Amino acid sequence: MPYAVLQGLGTYLPTRRVTNDELAGLFDTSDEWITTRTGIKERCWAEPGQSTGDLATEAGRRALKSAGLDDGADVGLLVVATTTPDHPCPGTAPDVAARLGLANAAAYDISAVCSGFVYALEAAANAIQAGRVERALVIGAETYSTILSPNDRTTSVIFGDGAGAVVLSCGAADEPGRLLGFDLGSDGTGKDLIQIPAGGSRQRGSGLAAAEDDYYFTMQGKKVFAHAVHRMSDSSLALLKSVGWTPDQVGHLVGHQANLRILRAVAEQLGLDTDRAVTNIEKVGNTSAASIPLALADAAAAGAFQPGERMLLTAFGGGLTWGSAALTWPDITPV
Ligand code: ACO
């Protein structure tokens, strides 16, 4: 049976950095409020005209390079996880595949909001383990700056743009980098907690015009906070049980970078020291589907991980959705 192994990791951030002080000039907020409530100091926002597909393509190219591959490599599947596709139709992935020269690769988008990367990783790992493809590219990419309401200080200070990508390949059972298991779930009764109310068939089919703000991202922060801690903790524990690991065997926890307080609370629920919970939210904010690969790359570049160590990834997002992944860390250099 083939096993899915992480072979490369690449990221791309837009060059425009937006500090808390800059946002304090646009909204009734402050560096102090944003830092203490979220842990965020700055984030990147795309330049005008720069799309999710543009960020995804660059991150994908860098992931291929990290895996020792070039554009046009033999990749059978590309999955792009995003909340902010280039167009409602078609998907962003086929265009990214074409731009990377991945001729005839199966290519589709996954819409699971901040859990999208873990969902996409599971789909790609399954395709490899089922023998359908030998190599897959998984990209989480977002341009939330395009869906943030200029009237909503709460969401505008939290979200950032960026992209992260991994290459998965067929490998051996004992190879560092192997994906060992997943736990995924959803609860659609909470769909209103994180939403863009207008622009889809629910609003268009009603025949009613939408208010301008309904085209922007909305979030009920306090309720989402409680769900995020509960779902990421429970999902992580369920996965640890299914792969036969105890929390103290986990080298690093790489959680969706939603809020520093959420990450600390999840680590606490799992009984892990907070220094084992990877954080880079201070530099990039909440980048939704791009969050986990960006956090992985930052920590790996800083030499935080040892090849072969046990890693736990966990995410929570709109839907509501959640997901966790267990893997061992490969001997790779992120690009
Ligand atoms: N600057 C200053 N004050 C603010 C700001 C701001 N940017 N935003 C809100 N406030 C005010 C509120 O108006 C409120 O004022 P009031 O007490 O006078 O009414 C006060 O601050 C407290 O607001 P809360 O919403 O209670 O603040 P909280 O401590 O809950 O922090 C936050 C808000 C950061 C959004 C938090 O709830 C959070 O992180 N939620 C989870 C987000 C998350 O996990 N997202 C992941 C999923 S997202 C996805 O899937 C795309």
pLDDT in tens, 254-269: 999 999 999 999 999 9
Where are the chain's structural domains?
A: 3-171, 179-328
The two domains 3-171 and 179-328 share their CATH topology (first three levels equal):
yes
Average pLDDT, 10 consecutive residues per value, the chain (335 residues): 96 98 96 97 97 98 96 94 97 98 96 98 98 98 98 96 98 96 98 97 95 96 96 98 96 97 96 94 98 98 96 98 98 95
Q: Which atom of ligand 1 is nearest to the CA of 318?
A: 50
Residue 38: CB within 6 Å of ligand 1? yes
Q: Give the span between the Cα atoms of 209 and 215, in whole angstroms.
A: 11
What the block records as the tokens of 319 is 């839907």
Q: What is the pLDDT of residue 259?
A: 95
Distances (CA, A) of 16 to 51, 60, 216: 14, 20, 21
What is the helix (H) or strand (E) element at residue 109, kind and residue range? strand 106-110
Check if the beta carbon of residue 59 is closer than 8 Å to that of residue 14: no
* Residue among 97, 58, 60 nearest 77 (CA): 97
Cβ neighbours around 69 below 10 Å, total: 19
The pLDDT of residue 72 = 84
pLDDT of residue 73: 87
What is the C-alpha to C-alpha distance for residues 213 and 201, in angstroms, rounded to an integer?
17
For a ligand 1 pocket test, name from 18, 37, 219, 263 the mutation site with the most ligand atoms within 8 angstroms of its C-beta: 37
Q: CB burial class (10 A; 0-12, 13-18, 19+) of residue 174?
A: exposed
Q: What is the pLDDT of residue 138?
A: 98
* 230 carries an active-site annotation: no
pLDDT of residue 1: 83
CATH topology of domain 3-171: Peroxisomal Thiolase; Chain A, domain 1 (3.40.47)
CATH of domain 179-328: 3.40.47.10
What the block records as the tokens of 146 is 């395009």
In the set 20, 114, 252, 259, the catalytic residue is 114
pTM equals: 0.97
End-to-end CA distance of the chain: 30
pLDDT at 186: 98
Probe residue for ligand 1, chosen from 117, 194, 225 as the CB with the greatest number of ligand atoms within 8 Å: 225
